[in-house]
């Protein structure tokens, strides 16, 4: 039994529950707090479910999607983004991106579970969904495709992760490819869940499905940088030359994608200002109720500050990257909120000019909604901290595709190539100029 365990741990980089037990007290306290938060959130969510959501949630008839949906979207956008960015390496063979794959796929799965945790407390009859989604499918419904595609995506990602751990590269690559295709379909379809509601001009159109994909890429890059640099704080051993190179590459991609999203946002605002249906909502971003969300969180924390800091970090300054991307995660959260809620604040009868709907609608998240959202977020955090220990910082366990004649340097983790008649040790010495 003992021997078998050792064998598995070697193969999978699995350090077991032992690693958790050996963690520092502050680490345990952090994990304990997240576990407590997740449990409390779940308990309060269940309470809401029992007493009836309409008593405890802030959503109304007209603003019927609230904080829970926006947090769900935050989670699934990040999950898809992690999949997209990591696929550059382990699906498309971008060597620089390979070392991030394991952590990215692991977190992608956890974010997806986190999203499902949250939407469980938003859907009024989640148990019916399992039955009727299967036996009474509506193939023209984006909502149906969302459930189906994200379900498939999760399965592909889990299988891919298994093969990554198994170091079966051809299968993990194949599964990664399917996961990516289904993930992109699922995610752009999520944009279409909003984009095809033609009674809601703020959402309607092809903008959101396209925006969601690029935005996911940005979130994914940000999340990888944040979780890797945070992992480096927890376990400095994970950094080696290959990982440093990967961080640099991801930083570059993230900088590019932030710029893309800035461009998207500028045109959303400018076109919205001259559109009858969007004007009021856009003005509430610029000067109204959502001005702080928009300017402080979405624009400053979500885009401008990280753009500046990431450029300054040059991809080498891990502390700076960690703070920049940590703040960016907060900004991105508000970015999602600013898609979901403002799309509903203009009543469908506003344009009729009636007294009842003359004002924009308001929405404030209730305590129950905040706690049920925190359930999902805390679950993701808990999974992250547990994963860093149990899976030994997602370290390289020769799980990348190593070209012919090359090997992974035990010292730096980079791929080295042996010259003829050279041993691995000689090659390492040569590479690192140890003579």
Q: Which residues bind other proteins (CB under 8 A)?
A: 52-54, 61-62, 64-65, 122-126, 128-129, 132-133, 136-138, 140-144, 146-147, 193, 196-200, 344, 347-349, 351-357
Minimum distance of other proteins from residue 294's CB (angstroms): 22
Residues 87 and 98: their CA atoms lie apart, in Å, by 9
Is there a contact between 194 and 339 (Cβ–Cβ < 8 Å)?
yes
Q: Which is nearer to other proteins, 117 or 409 (CB)?
A: 117
Minimum distance of other proteins from residue 376's CB (angstroms): 17
Torsion-angle region of 364 (φ positive above 0: left; ψ -120 to 50: alpha; else: beta): beta
Minimum distance of other proteins from residue 3's CB (angstroms): 49
* Paired residues of 407 in beta bridges: 416
Q: What angle do CA 160, 165, 171 make, to 5 degrees?
A: 40
Q: Which is nearer to other proteins, 28 or 200 (CB)?
A: 200
Residues 360 and 357: their CA atoms lie apart, in Å, by 7
Q: At 136, is the secondary structure helix, strand, or coil?
A: coil
Q: Which is nearer to other proteins, 108 or 148 (CB)?
A: 148
Minimum distance of other proteins from residue 140's CB (angstroms): 5
Which helix (H) or strand (E) segment holds residue 384: the answer is helix 367-390
* Sign of the C-alpha dihedral computed for residues 331, 335, 338 and 341 taken in this order: negative
Q: Which is nearer to other proteins, 35 or 46 (CB)?
A: 46
Minimum distance of other proteins from residue 334's CB (angstroms): 21
Q: Which is nearer to other proteins, 245 or 336 (CB)?
A: 336
Minimum distance of other proteins from residue 298's CB (angstroms): 22
DSSP 292-311: IIIIIIIIIIIIIHHHHHHH
Q: Which is nearer to other proteins, 3 or 199 (CB)?
A: 199
Place of tokens 């940088």: 225
Is there a contact between 68 and 372 (Cβ–Cβ < 8 Å)?
yes
């Amino acid at each position: 039994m003992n021997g078998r365990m050792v064998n598995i741990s070697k193969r999978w980089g699995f350090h077991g529950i032992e690693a958790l037990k050996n963690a520092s007290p502050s680490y345990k306290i952090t994990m304990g707090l997240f576990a407590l938060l997740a449990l409390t959130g779940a308990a309060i969510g269940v309470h809401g479910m029992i007493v009836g959501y309409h008593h405890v949630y802030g959503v109304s008839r007209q603003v019927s999607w609230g904080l829970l949906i926006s947090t769900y979207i935050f989670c699934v956008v990040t999950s898809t983004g992690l999949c997209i960015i990591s696929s550059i390496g382990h699906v498309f063979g971008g060597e620089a991106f390979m070392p991030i794959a394991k952590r990215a796929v692991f977190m992608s799965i956890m974010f997806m579970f986190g999203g499902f945790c949250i939407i469980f407390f938003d859907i009024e009859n989640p148990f019916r969904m399992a039955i009727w989604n299967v036996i009474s499918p509506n193939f023209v419904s984006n909502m149906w495709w969302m459930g189906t595609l994200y379900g498939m995506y999760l399965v592909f990602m889990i299988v891919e992760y298994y093969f990554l751990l198994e170091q079966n590269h051809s299968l993990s690559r194949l599964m990664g490819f399917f996961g990516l295709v289904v993930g992109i379909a699922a995610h752009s379809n999520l944009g279409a869940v909003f984009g095809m509601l033609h009674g809601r001009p703020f959402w309607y159109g092809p903008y959101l499905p396209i925006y969601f994909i690029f935005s996911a890429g940005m979130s994914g890059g940000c999340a990888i940088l944040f979780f890797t640099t945070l992992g480096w704080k927890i376990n400095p051993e994970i950094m080696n030359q290959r990982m440093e190179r990967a961080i640099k590459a991801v930083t570059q991609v993230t900088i590019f994608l932030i710029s893309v999203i800035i461009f998207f946002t500028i045109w959303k605002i400018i076109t919205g200002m001259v559109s009858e249906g969007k004007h009021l909502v856009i003005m509430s971003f610029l000067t109204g109720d959502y001005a702080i969300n928009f300017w402080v969180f979405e624009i400053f924390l979500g885009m401008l500050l990280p753009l500046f800091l990431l450029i300054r970090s040059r991809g080498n300054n891990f502390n700076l990257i960690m703070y920049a991307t940590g703040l960016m995660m907060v900004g991105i959260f508000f970015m999602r909120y600013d898609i979901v809620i403002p799309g509903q604040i203009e009543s469908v009868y506003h344009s009729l000019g009636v007294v009842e709907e003359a004002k924009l609608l308001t929405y404030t998240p209730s305590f129950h909604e905040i706690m049920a959202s925190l359930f999902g977020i805390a679950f993701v955090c808990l999974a992250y901290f547990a994963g860093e220990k149990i899976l030994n910082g997602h370290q390289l366990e020769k799980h990348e595709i190593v070209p012919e004649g090359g090997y992974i340097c035990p010292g730096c983790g980079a791929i080295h190539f042996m010259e003829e008649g050279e041993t691995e040790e000689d090659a390492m010495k040569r590479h690192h100029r140890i003579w």
